Amino acid sequence: MSPSDVRPPAEPKIAERDARRMEGRTALVTGASRGIGEAIADRLAAEGATVILCSRKEPGLVEARQRILARNPGADLRVEPCHVGHAHDIVALFERLDAQGIVVDALVNNAGTNPYFGPMMGAEAAAWDKTFDVNLRGPFEMSRQVARRLIDADRPGAIVNVSSIFGLRAAPLQGIYGMTKAALISLTRTLAMEWGGAGIRVNAIAPGLVETRLSSALLASDEIVARYNERTALGRPAVPAEMAGMVLTLLSDAASYTTGQVIALDGGWLIG
């Protein structure tokens, strides 16, 4: 039997939740209204964290909160709209949290955008600016706001940035997106070095192809999906919940000696 004859189950089995590793922690997840962000928020809530759901539009956050509560009755979930591509929105968000006496000690920079799909020659300045503002400046400002407060309070914390395999390899037709994800990896390593002495750990995950709205342009192409599956050891794209377990681990004390790392969650794409 050749490797191409082996097919994985249609529905991947997600690890059972067997602990409450985030009890007493306050986690903020950006891009939490759907997809990977919602899956991460759901897992952190199940593990006992107070979770602040953050994205641009409040209605989507309210709906995500209802879905998460249905799976985790009694979870402490808060909704805070914020456009992470606007630095003044981020500052205002943390001023609101300050007024409530809330200190975030677990941050997931998941929000991302990819408005231009095509060759680099055709890229326009507006797409460049939007992608860098949301995918890079936003995570930097969110991280800085969290770190300042943790340092002032002399408290440890953990940050996870959601990068991409396209930050580790060439990104044909997604060049601007890939550049921001590569820069996010560099940012992750630099902040890990600068803030490690304060007890703040900074790591990143690099997802492969995941079934989300952000990946819709890729998933819509049978040719692209077939090429991805052929190269990937597990032979399929991921579902959002498969990103959440590693984020949970990196935020928890299970990864207390792990910082500055980039972990590919790609089903084996990079080894293909």
pLDDT (tens digit per residue) in 53-71:
999 999 999 999 999 999 9
pTM comes to 0.91
- Spatial strand order in the sheet of 26-30: 77-79, 50-54, 26-30, 106-109, 157-162, 200-207, 262-265
DSSP designation for 161: E
Active site residues: 177
Q: What is the dihedral of CA 50, 55, 56, 62, to 10 degrees?
A: -60
Provide the domain count of the chain.
1
Tell me if 138 is assigned to some domain: yes
> Model confidence at 236, in pLDDT bands (50, 70, 90)?
very high
pLDDT higher than threshold 80 for residue 15: no
Parent domain of 136: 22-271
Tell me if 160 is assigned to some domain: yes
Between residues 2 and 111, the one the model is more confident about: 111
Question: What CATH number did the domain enclosing 154 receive?
Answer: 3.40.50.720
Tell me if 110 is assigned to some domain: yes
Q: Which residue has the tokens 């500055």?
A: 260
267: left (phi over 0), alpha (psi -120 to 50) or beta: left
Tell me if 14 is assigned to some domain: no
Taking residue 108's Cβ as centre, other Cβ atoms within 10 Å add up to 32
* Residue 127 contacts residue 176 (beta carbons within 8 Å): yes
Strand locations in the chain (E): 26-30, 50-54, 77-79, 106-109, 157-162, 200-207, 262-265
Q: What is the pLDDT of residues 107-141, one digit of tens each?
A: 999 999 999 999 999 999 999 999 999 999 999 99
Q: Per-residue DSSP letters for 79-110?
A: E----TT-HHHHHHHHHHHHHTT----EEEE-
